[in-house]
Amino acid sequence: MSIDDAKPEEWDAIRKGRYHDNRPYDMKDATCTLVKPMPEVPYAPSPDPVNHPQHYTVGPTEVIDIIRQQQGSAVEFHYEAALLKYVLRWRYKNGVEDLEKARVYLDWLIEQKKSEQGG
């Protein structure tokens, strides 16, 4: 059975996490398998929270590489948004670590613009 064959009530049960009579929804009871559960990944502090945070490197491909692949040259908008996020919050969240993250995004933005200019 395909995910396309799922009934609306099956989607609702998963979305709500409950059957219509309020019992917890158990995926093992489903008439079809709609979602493959993610493997449990234990969280441990990343040895490099600035350049390679663990929560962005859990799969075979780092998240920033997927973003670059999907956005092409428009990735500069992502870099700019992240840069602003880290610069505007550093005092209130992670201090110098956020400034270091901002610097990484600024460096990536500079590299992107230089590569577009042929340098």
Do the beta carbons of residue 64 and residue 33 sit within 8 Å?
no
Average pLDDT, the chain: 76
Contacts of residue 32, defined as CB under 8 A and 6 or more positions apart, other chains included, come to: 1, 2, 3, 5, 6, 10
The pLDDT tens digits of the residues spanning 7-32 come to 777 666 666 665 555 666 555 555 54
Q: What value does the mean pLDDT take over residues 88-95?
A: 93
pLDDT confidence of residue 7: 73
pLDDT confidence of residue 10: 67
The pTM is what? 0.54
